Chains A and B, each alone.
Chain A
C-alpha cells in the first residue's frame, strides 16, 4: 500500500491562499487506509482550516467530497459536474491521484494536501513501515525476502558494509536493523547462504524513466490503441 502523511496545516493554508471556493476531495484507496486522506481526514482538515481562518476573521467556502479512488478515471464521473464551480481542488490522494485529477480537470488548479511517503506495510494501527522502492527488478527471491534496496541505507547488493554495529543494527541508526545482517540470518536459518556468496553484478536500474505496465492478457488490446 501507498503510505502518505498530511502536510502541515500552515503549508496547506499557503497553497489555498487566494482561492475562495475550494473542493476538498478525499480518496477511498490507500490514503484512506493509512488514515491520511479518507472521508474522515477530509472532514478534519476542512474543520481545521475553517477554525484557523476564523481566528483572523477570514472565511473560505470549502466543500468536502470523497470518491472511491483517485487513481481510476471511472470514479471521477460523479464529480465532473462539480469541479467547474470551484476556484481550486485540494486532493487528499497520493501523488499519483493528485496528478490524475489534475489531468482530468486541466482548467482548475489542483493542490496536494498530502506528502506521499512510501510503499509499505502496517506495523500496527496508524504505524507504517517502508518496504519497497519499486525498483522494477525484484531480488527478494535471493535475499531471504528482505529488500536490500529499501532496507539497507546504502542500497547495497553485496552487503553488509563495514559499519554494522555489534548488535546487528545499521551504522546509520542504532534503532534500525542492518538489512544485510537480517538477510544473512534468514538465509543461514534456511541453509541457503550460497545465494549471497556470488558477486551480484551492477544492476540495470529500471526506475529511471516513467514506466507503464500492460498485463499480458491486455497486450493485444492496447497494441491496437497505440
Chain B
C-alpha cells in the first residue's frame, strides 16, 4: 500500500485540486497488487478503484485522472464502465433493461432500416443487428449498425463465427468501434446449410467462446489475438447468447459459465416459452454465482399466429414450446391470436421483472418491429431510462442507484 500512496501522491497536481479532493483520493485507494504489475497497470487500477469508490470525477470537469488517461473530462461514472454504452449504463444502474432486434435488408434499401429503427427508437436500450441471420445474405451487420447509430438508436452488433476468420473479425470490430458501435454479441451462427448458399465453406476459425475471449483481450489488454498491440483498443460491451433449453440440459449452465469466464458482460437468451425450465436454469446459474457476474437478459418472442407457434415448437431446433401455450392460442378467435401472443409475452416480461437473476429482456419481434412500441408499453417498460453519456450529463439518477 505504501508504494501506491507514493505513486498517487507524486502524480496529483495539487495546484489543480483542493485538499478535500486529495483526501478523497487517498482515502479511497484500495486495490489488489499482483506480482509483475507494471507502473502503468497499477496507476490504472488506482484510477479505477478511486472513481469506483469516491466518484469524485463527477464534480470536477478538469479531472486530472481523465487527462492522465486520455479520457474526456467530466466523464463521471462512465469512466468505470467497460464500454460506456447505453446498454451497459442501463444495466449497471440496476434498471430492468430491454433490447430489441432489427434484421438488415436483403438489399441496399436504407429506408427499410430507417423505418424499422423508427419503431424501436425510445422503446429499447439497444437493438441487436443480426448478422446474416439463418445463414441468408443480408446487408452486413456492422454497416446496418452504423445506419442505426445515425438514426439515434444504439446498436448491439452481432457477429457470427460462420462467415469470417479471425483477421476479418478483428478488422470489423475495429471498424465498428471507430464508427461508434459499443456493444457486440458473439455467436457461433446458424449452420450454412440452412441458408441461401448451403454449400458455402463455413469458416468457424474460432468458436463463439473464443470470440468472446478475443474481444475481451482486444478491449482489456489492448492486444490482437495474435499478440500485437492495438493502437486505440475497441471498448466493446461484450454479449453472448445462451440457450437454457438445448440438450444436454444440465450442461447448459456450465457452458454459460464458460462464456462468463471467457469475458461475457451480458447474456441474451434464446426465446423462452417454458418458464418452469427457465426458472430451473436461472436458479442453477444463481447457485453457481453466475448471475452476479453477468447480466442475463431473457429472450422473448411474441407469437404472431398459431402456425408460427407450431413452427417454433416443431421446426426450430433447441426451442421448447409447452403445449399449454399452443392450447391457449387455439382457444381464442383467429383474428385475436396476435393480441393474445402479445399478452402472453407481456405476462412473461412481468414474471422476468420479478425473477431474481434476470436483468432485462431481449425482445425479438421478428419482422414485427411496428408492434414493439405497443408491447413495451403494455409490459410497463416505458419510459426508458435516459442515462446520458455526454460530458456534464445528468448523472444524479445513477448516483442514487450507486448508493445501494
Contact = CB atoms under 8 A, between A and B. Distances in A.
Contacts of A181: 247-248
Interface residues of A, number: 31
B270 A158 contact: no
Given A202-B166, A202-B210, A156 B188 contact: yes
Interface string B244-270: 001110010011011001100000001
A164 interface: yes
A168 B261 contact: no
A185 B246 contact: no
B191 A153 contact: yes
A153 B193 CA distance: 10
B204 interface: yes
Contact of A197 (B210, B257, B262): B257
Contact of A154 (B191, B255, B258): B191
A86 B161 CA distance: 50
Interface string A173-203: 0000010010011000000010001111111
Contact of B248 (A184, A197, A203): A184
B243 interface: yes
A171 B254 contact: no
A164 B204 contact: no
Contacts of B213: 199, 201-202
Residues of A contacting B: mostly: loop
B280 to A, nearest CB: 15
A204 to B, nearest CB: 10
B225 A158 contact: no
Given A154-B191, A162-B241, A185-B248, A199 B209 contact: yes
Nearest to A187: B251
Given A155-B204, A166-B247, A171 B166 contact: no
Given A154-B162, A156-B207, A201-B213, A168 B247 contact: yes
27 contacts: A153-B191, A154-B161, A154-B191, A154-B202, A155-B202, A157-B210, A158-B210, A159-B207, A160-B255, A162-B188, A163-B246, A163-B317, A165-B318, A166-B247, A168-B248, A171-B190, A171-B318, A172-B193, A172-B194, A181-B248, A197-B254, A197-B258, A199-B213, A199-B258, A201-B210, A202-B205, A203-B206
Minimum-distance CB pairs A-B, first 5: A162-B243, A171-B317, A158-B209, A202-B210, A202-B206
Given A154-B204, A163-B246, A166-B320, 11 more contacts: A153-B191, A153-B202, A154-B189, A155-B202, A160-B246, A161-B188, A163-B190, A163-B191, A165-B317, A168-B248, A184-B248
